[in-house]
Amino acid sequence: MTHDLPEAMIKQPETHRDATIDVRDIIATYKVRTQRGASGVANLRARTVGSISEVHALRGVSFTAYQGESIAIVGRNGAGKSTLLRIMSGLQRPTAGEVLAVEHPTLLGVDAALMPQISGARNITLGCLALGMTPAEVEEIRPSIIEMSGIKEFIHNPLNTYSSGMKARLRFAISTARTPRLLMVDEALSTGDEVFRGRSEERIRSVLDGAGTVLIVSHSMVAVQDLCTRGIWLHEGRVHMDGPIMEVSEKYRSWALAEDRRQRGLDKNQ
User: With bands split at pLDDT 50, 70 and 90, how would you rate the model's confidence at 11?
Assistant: low
Record the pTM. Answer: 0.77
6 is a domain residue: no
Expressed as residue numbers, the domain containing 256 is: 17-105+181-264
CA–CA distance, 53 with 147 (Å, rounded to integer): 47
151 is a domain residue: yes
- Positive or negative, the CA dihedral 145, 190, 157, 124 is negative
Of the two residues 41 and 21, the one the predictor is more confident about is: 21
Task: Please indicate, yes or no, whether residues 190 and 149 belong to a single structural domain of this protein.
Answer: no
**Average pLDDT score over residue span 261-266:** 79
Task: Please indicate, yes or no, whether residues 256 and 194 belong to a single structural domain of this protein.
Answer: yes
Contact (CB, 8 A) for 187 and 157: no
Angle at 197 between CA 196 and CA 200, to 5 degrees: 85
Query: Which of 25-34, 49-58, 124-133 is predicted least confidently?
Result: 49-58
140 is a domain residue: yes
Give the model's pLDDT for residue 146.
93
Highest-pLDDT range among 46-50, 133-137, 165-169, 192-196: 133-137
Give the model's pLDDT for residue 211.
63
Give the model's pLDDT for residue 261.
85
CA–CA distance, 99 with 184 (Å, rounded to integer): 14
Whether 34 has a pLDDT exceeding 90, the answer reads no
152 is a domain residue: yes
Please measure the distance between the N-terminal and C-terminal CA atoms of the chain and give it in whole angstroms: 13
| pLDDT one-digit tens code per residue, 132-149 | 889 999 999 999 999 988
CA–CA distance, 158 with 118 (Å, rounded to integer): 5
CA–CA distance, 56 with 61 (Å, rounded to integer): 12
Task: Please indicate, yes or no, whether residues 49 and 95 belong to a single structural domain of this protein.
Answer: yes
| pLDDT one-digit tens code per residue, 54-93 | 889 999 999 999 998 999 999 998 899 999 999 998 889 9
| pLDDT one-digit tens code per residue, 96-115 | 999 999 988 888 754 456 88
Give the model's pLDDT for residue 1.
43
Whether 13 has a pLDDT exceeding 60, the answer reads no
| Torsions phi, psi for 234 (to 5 deg) | -95, 135
| pLDDT one-digit tens code per residue, 240-256 | 999 999 999 999 999 98
Q: With pLDDT > 70 as the criterion, what percentage of the chain qualifies? A: 81
Task: Please indicate, yes or no, whether residues 94 and 185 belong to a single structural domain of this protein.
Answer: yes
**Average pLDDT score over residue span 129-134:** 85
**Average pLDDT score over residue span 252-270:** 79
CATH number at residue 51: 3.40.50.300
Give the model's pLDDT for residue 66.
94
Give the model's pLDDT for residue 42.
47
70 is a domain residue: yes
| pLDDT one-digit tens code per residue, 148-161 | 888 889 999 999 99
**Average pLDDT score over residue span 212-226:** 86
CA–CA distance, 35 with 98 (Å, rounded to integer): 33
DSSP states along the chain: ---SPPPPEE-PPPSSSPEEEEEEEEEEEEEEE--TT-TTTGGGTEEEETTEEEEEEEEEEEEEEETT-EEEEE--TTSSHHHHHHHHTTSS--SEEEEEESSPPEEEETT----TTSBHHHHHHHHHHHTT--HHHHHHHHHHHHHHHT-GGGTTSBGGGS-HHHHHHHHHHHHTSS--SEEEEESGGGSS-HHHHHHHHHHHHHHHHTT-EEEEE-S-HHHHHHH-SEEEEEETTEEEEEEEHHHHHHHHHHHHHHHHHHHTT--TT-
Give the model's pLDDT for residue 227.
86
Whether 95 has a pLDDT exceeding 60, the answer reads yes
Query: Which of 161, 179, 197 delimits the end of a domain?
Result: 179
Tally of domains in the chain: 2
